[in-house]
Structure 1
Amino acid sequence: MAANHPEIIEIKHSRFRARVSVRGAQLLNFAPTGDADWLWCTDEKFISQDRPIRGGIPICWPWFGQHPTRDDLPSHGFARLMDWVLISSEDFGSFYQIAFELKSSDKTMAMWPHDFTARVMMKFGDYCSVHLFVKTEGEWTGALHSYLAVNDINQVRISGLGESYQDNLDNRVVKTEKPSVVVNGPTERLYLRPEPLARLHHGSKSSHKLDLHHEGNSDVMLWTPWKGAGISPADMSAQDYKRMICIETSRIQKPQKNGKLSVRLEKNSNLEG
């Protein structure tokens, strides 16, 4: 591995395969055996220790987006930019579990002046889940920023987001839309009253449905850069927008102290819905 490349743990199991970056405790790839990857991740040539990894499920914490008062601090917080400590990795038979921990330090206190202990637990089987647990007296916002792999962005449909959303590309105006959402351009929407389960439909086959179960969130962010908007040539190719959509389990409207965020992804083969 190159010196400027973050440490990546590869898990090859009879039931699945997964890749996890120690920096950011970030799940990069997951696929049950015999299935395509459920998560989109940028090409290996774009992965560097110097910048956030575009793809998988980055952990945005302890703030989402730009810091509210300091322009010098990183977007989406520092958690995704720091090396976490691997504290456990175990095969339980029906599922595999891996966990990481990050604690406050002089470096984090300079950016966010609160003591904290954060843990990330991931479970893999015929599903995958990511859980963020936080103990702190400081109020935080954040998200599990899932980049989901799709066959063609033009064939994507999402249900379970609710009808009311804040359009961040139109001066944060609150709008309403039908429950089944399609995207046809740059999109950055904060859904204000989402259901606990969102369903991603992509492609014409009934098997191309992925369920996202949210827990601990106050909202859900839907994001796609589309053609060029928000894309940096340093972290993804120009055509990659066609193969990904972000449905983010977020805590933005209602900051909290001690708490958790969780998302569970599982394939849905039901012919209905």
Structure 2
Amino acid sequence: MTQQDFSTVLANVNGVRLTTSSAHFNLAGDGLPLLVVENALGSAAIVIQGAHLVSFIPTGGQDLLWLSPNAIFEPTKAVRGGIPLCMPWFGGHPDGLPSHGFARSTDWTLQSARNLADGRTEIVMSLQDTEQTRSLWPHAFKFEFTILVGTVLELSMNTQNLSDTSVPYTYAFHTYFAVSDYTQVAVSGLADLNYIDTIGVERRLVQEGDVVFTGSTDRVYLDVPEVQTIIDGTRTIRISSCAQSAVVWNPGEHAKNIADIGGDAYQHFVCVERGDVFDNALTLAAGASHTATMTLSA
């Protein structure tokens, strides 16, 4: 995907050059509003629903993020690709509530936008509890998501528990990275770590060497180091985060049965998701906050 894929109308927020669009990538839906951020260092596209990054292109480089050619842009439906925000819970819910929480399918508010002296652009988006969110997660909260667009992409998610009780909390930056061929890439930075293989009967294993993909893969790595890298031929993508978990996922040929992936599109992404999940799940005390960061560069 390139910047030219977005039909845009110029807009200006506090001197920041933004473009806005109603994205019609799939005829099944009426599109969703998005923001395109452009500066001399790079560009990014953010769907307002879910504060969902679907593109990040360093100037002169390639898009780090993969967006499904069959992605559906419909209200309340999570977009396939980019960086969905899975929170305030990750994965399935024991009570049958929506998988991966509600943040990725709820409209966020553009809180601020500004250009920094070093040429980067800072976008801040927020989401606060409503009657609808409290029907799913009965807690007062504020999510504040800061996006810094430059030669690298810097993300910071601050979660505030505004209720008077402690709150269980898991989250992940569910990042889809664009690669040439998933069977030809390797993920380093996870060797010798314990992981949970969630395909079929759940197993706990130890990673030997780099992670490679030979088919359907779904692994939760625990207590991971700060940095992982995706090695894709001569290109290397660096992922740096303070989060304690890393989820490595590609559905393999099962993707042909996933409507918004389909065909052979799965061959061109790998997910390396940073967050705090499974054994690394968090509990936020009453009035407490938690900040998660992630930086992506090529």
- One of 87, 109, 115 as aligned partner of 2:140: 115
Preserved CA contact (<8 Å) 1:162 1:194: no
- Counterpart of 1:84? 108
> What is the alpha-carbon distance in structure 1 between the residues aligned to residue 176 and residue 84 of structure 2?
8
> What does residue range 219-238 of structure 1 map to in structure 2 within 5 Å?
219-229=245-255, 231-233=257-259, 235-238=260-263
1:158 aligns with 2:187: yes
- Counterpart of 1:141? 170
- Counterpart of 1:213? 240
Q: Secondary structure at the match of 1:37?
A: coil
- Counterpart of 1:35? 61
Q: Deviations over 1:181-224 (max 9, x none)?
A: 11111011001131110011012x2xx00110011x22111000
> What is the alpha-carbon distance in structure 2 between the residues aligned to residue 29 and residue 177 of structure 1?
30
Q: Deviations over 1:69-115 (max 9, x none)?
A: x11x2110000010001001111142111010111111111000111
1:67 aligns with 2:93: yes
TM-score by length of 1: 0.90
- Counterpart of 1:201? 231
**Percent of matched pairs sharing the same residue:** 28
> What is the alpha-carbon distance in structure 2 between the residues aligned to residue 52 and residue 230 of structure 1?
18
TM-score by length of 2: 0.83
> What is the alpha-carbon distance in structure 1 between the residues aligned to residue 110 and residue 172 of structure 2?
21
Give the CA deviation at 1:124. Answer: 1.1
1:100 aligns with 2:149: no
Give the CA deviation at 1:138. Answer: 1.6
> What is the alpha-carbon distance in structure 1 between the residues aligned to residue 254 and residue 270 of structure 2?
14
- One of 167, 182, 188 as aligned partner of 2:197: 167
- Runs of 4+ residues over 4 Å off in structure 1: none
- Counterpart of 2:16? none
> What is the alpha-carbon distance in structure 2 between the residues aligned to residue 134 and residue 52 of structure 1?
20
Name structure 1 gaps, 5 residues minimum.
268-273
- Counterpart of 1:270? none
Name the CA shift for 1:74/1:210 in 2 (closer, same or farther; >3 Å): same
Aligned CA-pair RMSD: 1.6
> What is the alpha-carbon distance in structure 1 between the residues aligned to residue 295 and residue 184 of structure 2?
23
Preserved CA contact (<8 Å) 1:162 1:193: no
Q: Which amino acid aligns with 2:34?
A: I
Preserved CA contact (<8 Å) 2:69 2:265: no
> What is the alpha-carbon distance in structure 1 between the residues aligned to residue 70 and residue 182 of structure 2?
22
Q: Deviations over 1:206-245 (max 9, x none)?
A: xx00110011x22111000111248522x22321111100
Count of residue pairs brought into register by the alignment: 260
> What is the alpha-carbon distance in structure 1 between the residues aligned to residue 136 and residue 142 of structure 2?
15
- Counterpart of 1:255? 282
Give the CA deviation at 1:48. Answer: 2.2
